[in-house]
Structure 1
Amino acid sequence: MAASPDSGSPSTPRPAARPRTGWAGFRADLRAALPDASAALVVTAVIYVVLYARIESGSSQTLQVMPFLADADEYRLYWLCQAFGWSALLWAWLTLALGLLRSSVQPRWMPVGPARVERWHRTTSLTTIGLMFAHAFMFFAELVRENEDGLGWAALLLSAFVDVFVPGGYSTGTGRVAILLGLVAFYLSIPLGLAYYFRFRTGSRLWRALHRFIVVAYVLSVWHTLLYGTNVWFDGWFRTAVWALQVPLAVLFLVRLLAPARPSERLRLRDPATRPRPLPAAARLGGRLLVAAGAVALLAVTASGRDGGRTPGAETGERLVTAGMVWAGLAVLLLVIAVTVLAVRRAERAAPGRSGARPRP
């Protein structure tokens, strides 16, 4: 019989417990996300009250474009859709900030450790996906409620589903581009956000490479909001707030590129022993310069308030981006992701001793 830990006799040490992965880890994070999701619902309720009150008082600039929305009681589902959209964008901002903070060198002033920041990042990611789905579902429910074409239930549900959940299904007005952008962001966020729970199958190197593309989903979400968020159609504090929130993210992104937590990702151009090959080095340096330029541009847009948004009393200009351009951009993005997967697999085959390493929790 093995000796107890208090007996003082030698015993075989127990192997380190393998961290929970896959569905077990996913369920654990779902339970841990309950307080976070509850807070998100409270924030959504507050946003809904604000939107409702602005409609009731007639101060919402949305009424200048869609005056029929003046009946706030009739369009409650629509304003609930808008509220979920805003809280989803806020939580997307929060989870991206936590992710950038976790993957950068830990600053000394941080009151919590990397493990807790990572847990917060995972739980807020799950909450964000849930809020995005609720945002889309409330729009679906509003289309079903309206039933302007007098369709039967089966045809009505199918029509609303295509308009809301099928990319390219919404085919009128600004929504042709805006809803397409939102759906692309939503459908990208699901596999890229949940890839963490399958990293023991894909390998941590491939997971990290794929997860970085989540930044694209966030950018598309902001773009969707600026195009179709009925509270930001005109210049004002709503639009200014959206732009201002992007500045700290751009700074965190630049810090992440300049001082990544993993030593292998740091750019060392002067040290011949650790200097990367010319092409990866140029790509990393170009990325840092591009993000720095983006941060400056965001500061300029936020300070000036000139972002191309609509101006009250002025006619709307032609859209600069079409649905075809969005589809082309998505095709390019998917091609880049495929090339990234092939490059990671090729690197793993070149270093077989490291490819089987167990990823850290």
Structure 2
Amino acid sequence: MTDAARPPVPSSGRRSGTRRFDWPGLRADARAAIPDASLALLVTGLVFWWLWARIENGSSPSIRMMPPFEDASEYWWYWLCQAFGWSALLWAYITVAFGLLRSGARPPWRWLSAARVERWHRTTSLTTIGLMFLHMATFFGAELQTNFENQPMGELVRETLVKVFVPGGYATGTGRVAVLIGLLAFYLGIVLGLAFYVRQTTGSRLWRALHRFVIVVYVLSVWHTLLYGTNVWFDGSFRTLVWALQMPLAGLLLLRLLAPARPSERLRLRGPGRESRPLPLTARAAGRLAVLATIAGLAAVIASGADGGRPDHGHSSAGVWPERWVIWTGLLVLTLLLVAVAHRLRPSRPAGHSVAGSSRWSKG
């Protein structure tokens, strides 16, 4: 999300009467997202129908690992959960693409204005968060439907709430890692996505810096899908297609880093005032090299068709990797990085509404 089409951030601190959270802006964006969300629900319905049809005709790879689920009408909650998961990933893909277009070099098409791309980015972001929540809610329904005969309902509801909504609460099978990764993506997506609506408190510079970490949410979402999406469990053309679709997004990310919309973000040895900037230069160069390495890895996976997924023969599950402590360590590192960025870019609190304070905010 970007703030080009929004009113300027207050010049200093929090003025009297300024809201800490931009509820009017969120309500306006939510209303604007209604057509987008309606289309997303339609797509979810089509995916659900497609999954159901493949179960009914026996062509779904899911029933090779889960034979009891071959009765689609009995386990419809599960297949609805899968449908919401796929539509959420699709909308995440779309909103990330809009965000990269808005913050980087855009095609010279007159109809693709910055304000329009930004509006699309905000509405698709809200739709993505809603789809992710519905994905989790239907997973909750699927867990209740599968286990309701095994224990009292009250105890089952409490345990299922922990398994579905608490990171680390799902402790069996592949879900020990896959559900944990999915939950981290969901909660990080809420915090980093909705940070747009507190930018009047945090300042635009801090909001933009934190919002860049949304790309981590998308990576976690794809990882979660490849680990737990039952239609991509196996090596094969469909799994390779999922990887291939990431290539355009990686290319957009590289283009955004090489040609950012803001001149201050370009890779230059010296800033506008000719001052040396070794730390920002190193960080930006490392980011570009990381994206290049990612593109090379994607190309290798697409060319070989092998990414460590379960083989398409036999019914034995691959070992769960990585261990959960690796995920928690990564989350700790990410949290420390976010805290460091927030500390470095926190808005100053000058006494009174001085010109200096206004200048600091306007630099963004």
Name 1:45's counterpart in structure 2: 45
Post-superposition offset of 1:112: 1.6
Does the 8 A contact of 1:203 with 1:355 survive in 2?
no
Name 1:104's counterpart in structure 2: 104
Change (3 A) 1:270 1:340: closer
Q: Which is further off, 166-175 or 289-298?
A: 289-298
Name 2:177's counterpart in structure 1: 177
Name 1:354's counterpart in structure 2: 359
Q: Which has the higher contact order (CA 8 A, sep 6+)?
A: 2
Q: Deviations over 1:109-143 (max 9, x none)?
A: 46320000000000000000000000000010111
Q: Deviations over 1:22-68 (max 9, x none)?
A: 01110000000000000000100110011001111111111111111
Name 2:327's counterpart in structure 1: 326
Which amino acid letter does the alignment assign opposite residue 357 of structure 1? S
Change (3 A) 1:305 1:336: same
Which amino acid letter does the alignment assign opposite residue 220 of structure 1? L
Name 1:135's counterpart in structure 2: 135
- Is residue 2:233 matched to residue 1:228? no
Equivalence map 1:68-217=2 (5 Å): 68-109=68-109, 111-148=111-148, 150-217=150-217
**Aligned to 1:224, what secondary structure does the other structure show?**
helix
CA RMSD of aligned residues (A): 2.2
In structure 1, distance between residues paired with 2:329 and 2:304: 31
Name 1:9's counterpart in structure 2: none
Which amino acid letter does the alignment assign opposite residue 188 of structure 1? L
In structure 2, distance between residues paired with 1:275 and 1:194: 34
In structure 1, distance between residues paired with 2:52 and 2:276: 55
Stretches of structure 1 that go unaligned for 5 or more consecutive residues are 1-16
Does the 8 A contact of 2:202 with 2:346 survive in 1?
no
Does the 8 A contact of 1:144 with 1:156 survive in 2?
yes
Post-superposition offset of 1:346: 7.6
Does the 8 A contact of 1:268 with 1:275 survive in 2?
no
Equivalence map 1:250-265=2 (5 Å): 250-265=250-265
In structure 2, distance between residues paired with 1:182 and 1:226: 11
Does the 8 A contact of 2:81 with 2:135 survive in 1?
yes
Does the 8 A contact of 1:254 with 1:288 survive in 2?
yes
In structure 2, distance between residues paired with 1:143 and 1:276: 57
In structure 1, distance between residues paired with 2:274 and 2:135: 47
Change (3 A) 1:275 1:292: farther
In structure 2, distance between residues paired with 1:110 and 1:243: 32
Does the 8 A contact of 2:301 with 2:307 survive in 1?
yes
Name 2:269's counterpart in structure 1: 269
Does the 8 A contact of 1:267 with 1:275 survive in 2?
no
Post-superposition offset of 1:356: 3.5
Which amino acid letter does the alignment assign opposite residue 238 of structure 1? F
Does the 8 A contact of 2:22 with 2:197 survive in 1?
yes
Which amino acid letter does the alignment assign opposite residue 277 of structure 1? R
**Aligned to 2:232, what secondary structure does the other structure show?**
coil
Q: Which is further off, 173-182 or 157-166?
A: 157-166
Q: Which is further off, 100-109 or 84-93?
A: 100-109
Change (3 A) 1:276 1:319: farther
TM-score, normalised with respect to structure 1: 0.89
Q: Which is further off, 274-283 or 176-185?
A: 274-283
- Bigger radius of gyration: 1
Which amino acid letter does the alignment assign opposite residue 123 of structure 1? T
In structure 1, distance between residues paired with 2:323 and 2:115: 43
Q: Deviations over 1:165-214 (max 9, x none)?
A: 01010000000000000000000000100111111111001100110111
Name 1:239's counterpart in structure 2: 239
In structure 2, distance between residues paired with 1:56 and 1:285: 51
- Is residue 2:343 matched to residue 1:342? yes
Equivalence map 1:2-17=2 (5 Å): none
Q: Which is further off, 303-312 or 263-272?
A: 263-272
Equivalence map 1:280-291=2 (5 Å): 280-291=280-291
Percent identical pairs in the alignment equals 58
Change (3 A) 1:170 1:352: same
Change (3 A) 1:109 1:316: same
Which amino acid letter does the alignment assign opposite residue 321 of structure 2? L
Q: Deviations over 1:138-165 (max 9, x none)?
A: 0101112223553333212111101100
Change (3 A) 1:271 1:346: closer
In structure 1, distance between residues paired with 2:317 and 2:144: 29
Change (3 A) 1:212 1:156: same
In structure 2, distance between residues paired with 1:114 and 1:130: 25
Post-superposition offset of 1:312: 2.1
Does the 8 A contact of 1:125 with 1:193 survive in 2?
yes
Q: Deviations over 1:44-103 (max 9, x none)?
A: 011001100111111111111111110010010100000000000000000000000000
Does the 8 A contact of 1:259 with 1:266 survive in 2?
yes
Does the 8 A contact of 2:173 with 2:320 survive in 1?
no
Change (3 A) 1:94 1:348: farther
**Aligned to 1:345, what secondary structure does the other structure show?**
coil
**Aligned to 2:345, what secondary structure does the other structure show?**
helix
